Structure 1
Amino acid sequence: MPDLNFAIFLLIGSFILFLVLRVPITFALGVSSIITAIYLKIPLMSILQQMVKGIQSFSLMAIPFFILAGEIMGEGGISRRLIEFSNVLIGRVRGGLAQVNILASMFFGGISGSAVADTSSIGAILIPMMKKNGYDADYSVGVTVTSACQGVIIPPSHNMIIYSLAAGGVSVGKLFLGGFVPGVLLGVGLMIVSYIIAVKRGYKKGKKISFKEGIKIAKDALLGIMTAVIIIGGVLSGVFTATESAAIACIYAFVITFFVYREIPITRMNKILYNSLKTLSLVLSLIATAQAFGWLLAYLRVPALATNALLTMTNNKYMLLLFLNVLLLLLGCIMDMAPLILITTPILLPVVTKLGMHPVHFGIMLILNLAIGLCTPPVGSALFVGCAVGEISIEKITKSMLPFYLIMVVVLILVTFIPNIVMYVPNTFMN
């Protein structure tokens, strides 16, 4: 008879060992699951069935459409238009380009739903522009990378769909709405910090734009922003599911990019499809192997054991939530967002629901935690992209990003301990 305690050690220990050996996380999840299944004498066909089951979900069909829509809009000039529109709204203040950067990220995040896409597209334009206008490289990259993390909070976000799947079918519409206030709150906090640093360093204001020119820029950018409106409006009104709204937004993005903006030829669609399929293959293979890993965790009763262990640590709800935040922040520093959502949700969700936390509230708290991990070393993917674009080392930029990290943690604490920041909008519009 296999020892279940040893099986738990084998599953989790082999996974950690593979990570230390820098094995790609999809293979680490899959191989550790297979090793544990062999030890438990579970037929390997059961593991394969779980992997197939993991990607056999109607909700997951929204992800390829979100990815494709984001790729189309990113290639087709939407980034530049959003930057120009943001400059009209807020570019005149001290350190105006930093404020434009944050606001443009807020808009673009609502379209692509990806921090890395935001960093690579917005950052490729604004980081060189900021440096040319006298902004320090560390400040330019720091603003870009931290503001890009709004992209996974402000809807639509494919990470929310992954969480919905891992949590057993939490409403995607409520998750989308729950991310609005925290995402805007994060953006406002970053704007305040950016302004303080800009004043301290003596950065200049942006140039004045005439009213007539501002109206023209706003009209041009509105077509791109409508992509997010279609997705959110469709889900909120109940006319579309998240999958259907993503598909319609994808068609809309295609029409606007190739027949209205017309900045790129239709032949560029080959590259867009290739990039989308490459991203999608990574996401789906990760979900498949994480499903098998999660099934073994449930088979070994790890979620129940973790719940009992955490609840015996302290009876204080606030101390336990604080501990979970610290744990997730540390995990976010060493692992990427999607696998952490898939692995930690089945383990931690039962804990927080016993504390009375709503699954939507926990989902936003979890995603915000892991969003911070995207811009922290050693494996922050948004940080790597930002440093590559800004031509600066991670070592040089980390210290200057501390004020930005601080405001992100402050927003995280507010989101954790004030449920209405997350729940007010979904409770108001989706009873």
Structure 2
Amino acid sequence: MDLLRFITCGSVDDGKSTLIGRLLFDSKSILADQLEAIERASKSRNAGEVDLALLTDGLRSEREQGITIDVAYRYFQTPKRKFIIVDAPGHIQYTRNMVTGASNCQLAIVLIDARNGVVEQTRRHSLIASMLGIPHLVVAINKMDLVGYSQDVFSNICIQYNELARKLNVDNVTYIPISALNGDNVVDKSTHMPWYEGPALLEFLETVELDHDENLTDARFPVQYVIRPQTAELHDYRGYAGKITSGIFRKGDAVTVLPSGETSTIDAIELYQTHLEEAFAPMSVVLHLADDVDISRGNLIVRSDSRPVVSQNIEALLCWMDTKELKIGSKYTLQHGTFRTRCVVRDIVYQLNVNTYEETEGVESLKLNDIARVVLKTAQPVSFDPYHQNRVNGGAILIDETSNVTVGALMLQKEAE
């Protein structure tokens, strides 16, 4: 049974937490004690019915204010598929949380209030979803019960969002009219919208094709640990442990170790003391090479016939996640997979306006939640793929050197001039 990670995002009060609660409730994925707890909490808030949003809004401040602040994760499964749900905050000041939650998702559900249509956070979250390269996008037009289940309202919002998707070069968009509060088109098809002929949301989530989302072309293996036992029996054992982030490795493949550029061939692939002829993403294995090569944690083993970019000058899209401003000349630690190096912000090429998608040049600093294209100079060469080609090997983060806090999410684009 395969696994789908998806995120719900959108503006404040569009119904993200209620939608997740409805999915869990109607698919019978709530334990009895959980249901009793939210029933008690709903009564204490004088809610007429069970408040399904309480299933995900776990922080006290979230329940008091009726909003989502932190990213919440929920797990459930149906007979067809397992799911990890990420509930992202809707407020602008928590946009960085949305970036964190969406980074590993294969699908995004963008909720839109049928009464309001496309708003600023719709644009912001759609931009981030497209930047992060999320393969599948579902636009769930919620609260259809409050607009009389009108087909015209639904069609007009689809037209609005189509224009937005065109600007973002997003092709794979599915539109579903729903009422999360009443359960229309969430788990079961609604009788209130006979004009809608598509699937209910859960049916779509169960059947969306995921096989083509994994990059099996560019073989990448970041070394996490070098295994070198100091015993007489295993004196000649030298293995490199890690997780294949993309592609396929086979015994006998010619490989290159980056950034050094040294070459060898794969002598063996080991998994739980069993030797394999091949291994592929996302398997965690131990590779053995035919030659004694100087390899340490942070090095990248790749197939020699599909090498990534290796450079100290990198152009990247950046989502700034710190209250302290980023300025040209600021220094940070860049972490790319298991590899770390110091870097300096050489230039801010432009800042992206999340409402109009216009590019503003001449910017010298970035504030919290700003999105920009920047140029970085690193102390050591970084081995990366363009993000649109390989999400895992094209993603990185910036870390503040004094506080050790993650301050920026990077989507590496190309070698800078």
Tell me if TM exceeds 0.5.
no
Higher relative contact order (CA 8 A, sep 6+): 1
Using structure 1 for the length normalisation, give the TM-score: 0.23
Using structure 2 for the length normalisation, give the TM-score: 0.23
More helix by percentage: 1
More strand by percentage: 2
